[in-house]
């Protein structure tokens, strides 16, 4: 790998860990001038390698659950397929859309207050696009372990995982807390002064609220969405079912998975499979699957090859209105 590629991957890694980090701080971490870092960040944005800046919010803190759905198009009409994707993008409670290039066509995630609410939304969607889309797998999420994308910079210090969803007590935010969170939701890089102007709060209040939202783990992370295609990142979602089912045994597998740089998310789900493992790599990921299979001794599995992400908001924007 060339030094040029290695350098911009180091910048991307720092932004993945903290999208609010200043270019001056990145320059100290990658041992380059702030001017060069600024040039590369602008270049990565302009070329859409950085697709978006995002704020990672825990849906469980708002009493919400996630349901992940794998689907295939049953029509070859590209216009109709684009209509479906546009509809999903405009759906507030659809918080994640990803193209799947093998095994399915789309992975979407609903973030909803309960299963009944999901059923109404999803049934309406299926009725509207009847004959054009079909569900092949559906998994309510128990808990997600977001791991740092260590494969991008294997020399970096290991980072702690970010755990969202699960059995958490919902919070009740004040009006001012919602105002601050709403601004950060729309613009994760907004300065304290900018937030103060938009919320009509003084800067000290904004800073206090921001720190409180982070401390209470409502805001879990400031990060970015990458363009996998332009970075030549290869990845898949590995669905696994084990012969053993005790929580302690499954937790040992999760601990093992967290040590693999190419494993970026481990999700406990309800359904035929127990774990949904997201693997990303700058080369062939099959060697990672073999490694996981040899260590974990699973026989029942399914592999979906992933493409670019179309949408990723973590929570519906309406919960902040």
pLDDT of residue 247: 80
Q: What pLDDT was estimated at residue 284?
A: 87
Closest of 62, 11, 18 to residue 39, by C-alpha: 11
| Dist. CA 203–CA 197, nearest whole Å | 9
| Topology of domain 60-148+227-317, CATH | Alpha-Beta Plaits (3.30.70)
Distance CA 195, CA 178 (A): 12
Task: Divide the 321 residues of the chain into consecutive groups of 10 and give the mean pLDDT of each group.
Answer: 63 94 92 92 94 94 96 96 97 97 96 97 96 96 93 80 82 93 96 96 96 94 94 94 80 91 95 94 92 88 94 94 81
The CATH number for 172-215, chosen from 3.30.930, 3.40.1700, 1.10.3470, 1.10.10, is 1.10.10
Distance CA 290, CA 155 (A): 23
The pair phi, psi for residue 71, each rounded to 5°, is -140, 160
Region label for 63, one of left (φ > 0), alpha (ψ between -120 and 50) or beta (otherwise) = left
In the chain, which residues fall in CATH 3.30.70.3460?
A: 60-148+227-317
pTM: 0.90
Q: What angle do CA 239, 240, 241 make, to 5 degrees?
A: 135
Beta bridge partners of 56: 221
Task: List, by residue range, all CATH 1.10.10 domains of the chain.
Answer: 1-47, 172-215
Residues sharing a CB contact under 8 Å with residue 222, sequence separation 6 or more, in sequence order: 18, 19, 20, 53, 54, 55, 56, 188, 189
Largest CA distance in the chain: 58
In this prediction, residue 2 carries a pLDDT of: 40
Backbone torsions φ then ψ of 30, nearest 5 degrees: -105, 0
As a whole number of angstroms, the distance between CA 169 and CA 63 comes to: 8
What pLDDT, on a 0 to 100 scale, did the predictor assign at position 244?
66
Q: Give the separation between CA 276 and CA 140, rounded to whole angstroms.
A: 11
Closest of 271, 276, 280, 282 to residue 253, by C-alpha? 276
What is 1-47's CATH topology? Arc Repressor Mutant, subunit A (1.10.10)
In this structure, are residues 139 and 270 in contact, taking their beta carbons and an 8 Å threshold?
yes
The reported pLDDT for the residue numbered 213 is 95
């Amino acid at each position: 790998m060339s030094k040029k590629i290695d350098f911009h991957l180091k910048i991307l890694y720092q932004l993945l860990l903290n999208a609010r980090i200043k270019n001056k701080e990145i320059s100290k971490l990658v041992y380059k001038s702030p001017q060069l870092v600024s040039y590369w960040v602008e270049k990565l944005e302009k070329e859409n390698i950085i697709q978006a800046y995002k704020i990672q919010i825990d849906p469980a803190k708002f009493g919400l659950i996630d349901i992940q759905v794998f689907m295939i198009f049953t029509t070859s009409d590209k216009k109709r397929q684009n209509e479906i994707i546009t509809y999903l993008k405009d759906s507030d409670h659809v918080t994640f859309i990803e193209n799947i290039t093998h095994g399915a066509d789309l992975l979407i995630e609903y973030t909803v207050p309960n299963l009944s609410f999901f059923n109404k939304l999803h049934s309406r969607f299926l009725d509207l696009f009847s004959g054009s889309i079909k569900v092949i797998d559906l998994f309510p999420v128990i808990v997600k372990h977001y791991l740092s994308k260590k494969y991008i910079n294997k020399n970096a210090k290991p980072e702690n995982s970010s755990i969202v969803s699960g059995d958490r007590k919902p919070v009740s935010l004040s009006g001012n807390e919602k105002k601050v969170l709403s601004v950060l939701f729309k613009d994760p890089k907004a300065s304290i002064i900018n937030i103060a102007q938009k919320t009509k709060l003084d800067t000290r209040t904004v800073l206090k609220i921001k720190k409180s939202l982070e401390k209470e783990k409502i805001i879990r992370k400031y990060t970015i969405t990458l363009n996998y295609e332009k970075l030549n990142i290869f990845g898949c979602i590995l669905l696994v079912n084990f012969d053993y089912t005790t929580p302690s045994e499954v937790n040992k597998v999760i601990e093992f998975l967290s040590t693999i740089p190419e494993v970026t998310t481990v999700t406990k789900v309800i359904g035929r499979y127990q774990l949904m493992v997201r693997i990303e790599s700058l080369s062939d990921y099959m060697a990672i699957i073999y490694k996981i299979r040899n260590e974990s001794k699973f026989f029942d599995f399914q592999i979906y090859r992933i493409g670019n992400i179309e949408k990723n908001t973590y929570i519906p924007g309406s919960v902040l209105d």
